[in-house]
Amino acid sequence: MARMTYGTPDRHGTFYFRRIIPKALRPFMPAPWTGKSAWTKSLGTKEERKAKQPFARCMSDCEADFALAERAMRGEPIQAPRSSPALPSDAEIEAEVLAGLLAADELERLEPDPRQQFQTSEERTQWPDLVTLKPRGMAEDYHYVLGGELEAQHAAYRKALARVDPEIVDGECRAFLRKHGLTIDPVSDAFHAVGLVILRAHVRAYDLLLQRHEGEPIETPAPPIPAAANKGPKLSEAFAAWKAGSGARGGKKPSDRTLLEASYAVRRLTEWHGDIRLGDLTRELARDFRDALATVPTRLPDTLKRLPMREMLSRDFKAYPAVHAATVNKTLTIVAAIISHAEAAGRLDAVSGFKNPFGKGIKLGIDERGEEGRQEFSNGDLKAIFGTGVYRQGERPKGGGGEAAFWLPLLALLSGARQGELAQLRVADLAKDAETGVWYLDIGTAGGRSIKTASSRRKVPLHPALEAAGLLRYRQSLLGR
């Protein structure tokens, strides 16, 4: 296999695709290759010629995983890792295959005789001995031949089932797995197990087809509803809908900061449980995620922050402080909000007895007695802040936003407003009350600003020290520009 650089046979002669994963990429590889030294997958054949097509698919999948790992290593946003859908249950597989076989047989009996496709009516008149074909229904000779085929196939399927050998339905097995986006590995136990279920479905279907052929009124069952349809949206789909909001004027949409926090929460949950359907999220899985999240350290370097959660927790990070319970609870609250949004939109109505697994009772308990609250700046802290060159030599560092480096600390000191609220202030938000003549800061949402809660909307009287420092003169200079 000269051209297949990464294709090699094992000791049994089965060809495998194998490519070494660079050490730098290993922590960032999507599952199931996270931390592995090589990307390996069976090509399912001992013949070099037949190995070429699955080799090409493996090469494409491997390159895609390498690309995801490289983006993750650079800290770029990536899509949720590719995950193989869950395999339907044996009952679901059998029901789907059986319904498909009966439906195909019913269609064959209803459609015009296929011999009409071989000759036109005019051509058939040249041979008077040919059977007259009906526009609908099955001709008697066709019925006779089909009966023989059904009996022969029925016997072959039953014999194969008796030998527990699903090779006779190998093509049907591959088609089923491909249809459902599942991995096709002909040498695996899973492939053999699915093949047996499909073979069993063929035996039962042909039992019914023979009865139908003898005139028994055998109904074609309706196609089974995929189990995924009863499990609600995937986490990624619910997150996208939550981000979009209702679209109605005045409808609530998350702020940029909340979106950032939500992206982190969804990324971590996806790393831990995959892009799971909300209906599959149980209280047990929610607790498992919560407990894992509580062990994620803080103040990590950026390169370590990008590690997938399972890879991160496999390392020794005792040197870094543990995350605060309040931070974990905040992440859980965001996940609960995303699920509640999907629930309110009716996306989980089909999930019987659904209850938000991240709802009441999932949060970590916080010892309020151990909380010191927010620490005030000491006199030494204030001297350090206001003793810099910004206030002593009139420096205006570009990285500090120019004049913002001077005014924002003063506004924070003398107004009590949040940093985010002050950083969003516009010239128009420093206004004068028409009745009292008092200048004030208008903290609100006008002009695209955001506030933490609706109750945060307020007017803060301007401290006299800010007027004395020249804030109103600075405001006037901006108006003159």
Q: What digits encode the pLDDT tens for the residues 190-235?
A: 899 999 999 999 999 999 999 999 999 999 998 876 655 578 889 9
| Inside any domain, residue 375 | no
End-to-end CA distance of the chain: 73
Q: Are residues 188 and 63 in the same domain?
A: no
Average pLDDT of the residues in 458-468: 89
Q: Encode 432-447: b = buried (16+ Cβ within 10 Å), e = exposed.
A: eeeeeeebbbbbbeee
| Inside any domain, residue 352 | yes
Q: Are residues 115 and 161 in the same domain?
A: yes
pLDDT number for residue 75: 67
Coil, strand or helix at 434: coil
SS (H, E, C) 323-375: CCHHHHHHHHHHHHHHHHHHHHCCCCCCCCCCCCCCCCCCCCCCCHHHCCCCC
- Domain end marker among 213, 241, 256: 213
CA distance linking residue 25 with residue 34, whole number of Å: 9
The DSSP secondary-structure symbol of 8 reads E
Q: What digits encode the pLDDT tens for the residues 319-331?
A: 888 888 889 999 9
- What's the domain count of the chain? 4
Does 162 or 399 have the greater pLDDT score?
162
Under the banding of pLDDT at 50, 70 and 90, the label for residue 259 is confident
| Inside any domain, residue 172 | yes
Quickly count: other Cβ atoms within 10 Å of residue 273's Cβ: 17
- Domain end marker among 42, 73, 104: 73
Q: Are residues 167 and 291 in the same domain?
A: no
Q: Are residues 329 and 433 in the same domain?
A: no
Average pLDDT of the residues in 302-308: 78
| Inside any domain, residue 285 | yes
Q: Are residues 187 and 242 in the same domain?
A: no
Q: Which secondary-structure segment (H or E) carries 443?
A: strand 439-443
Q: What is the mean pLDDT of the chain?
A: 83
CA distance linking residue 394 with residue 207, whole number of Å: 93
| Inside any domain, residue 436 | yes
Omega of the bond prior to 85 within 30 degrees of 0, cis?
Answer: no
Q: What digits encode the pLDDT tens for the residues 311-360?
A: 788 777 788 888 888 899 999 999 999 999 999 999 888 888 899 999 98
The pLDDT of residue 80 is above 70: no
Q: Are residues 69 and 133 in the same domain?
A: no
The token duo for 186 is 């002909």
Omega of the bond prior to 114 within 30 degrees of 0, cis?
Answer: no
CA distance linking residue 38 with residue 56, whole number of Å: 17
Phi, psi at 430, each rounded to 5°: -100, 100
The pLDDT of residue 98 is above 80: yes
pLDDT number for residue 196: 96
pLDDT number for residue 81: 44
Phi, psi at 245, each rounded to 5°: 75, -170
pLDDT number for residue 3: 43
| Inside any domain, residue 420 | yes
Amino acid letter at 107?
Answer: L
pLDDT number for residue 368: 60
Please give the biggest Cα pair distance in the chain: 114
- Domain end marker among 73, 107, 131: 73
The boundaries of the domain holding residue 31 are 7-73
Q: Are residues 235 and 336 in the same domain?
A: yes
Cβ-proximal residues to 140 (8 Å cutoff; 6+ apart), any chain: 131
For the chain, helix, strand, coil in percent to 5 are 55, 5, 40
Average pLDDT of the residues in 251-271: 85
Average pLDDT of the residues in 231-251: 81
pTM, whole model, 2 decimals? 0.46
Q: Are residues 341 and 460 in the same domain?
A: no
Under the banding of pLDDT at 50, 70 and 90, the label for residue 251 is low
Under the banding of pLDDT at 50, 70 and 90, the label for residue 481 is low
Q: Are residues 247 and 363 in the same domain?
A: yes
Q: Are residues 365 and 400 in the same domain?
A: no
| Inside any domain, residue 225 | no
| Inside any domain, residue 218 | no
pLDDT number for residue 328: 92
Q: Are residues 276 and 348 in the same domain?
A: yes
Residue indicated by tokens 């060809």: 15
Q: Encode 26-52: b = buried (16+ Cβ within 10 Å), e = exposed.
A: bbbbbbebbbeeebbbbbbbeeeeebb
Q: Are residues 310 and 238 in the same domain?
A: yes
CA distance linking residue 151 with residue 155, whole number of Å: 6
Question: DSSP letters along 271-303, please?
Answer: HHH-S-BGGG--HHHHHHHHHHHTT-BSS--HH
Q: Which residue in 320, 286, 284 sits closest to 300, CA to CA?
A: 320
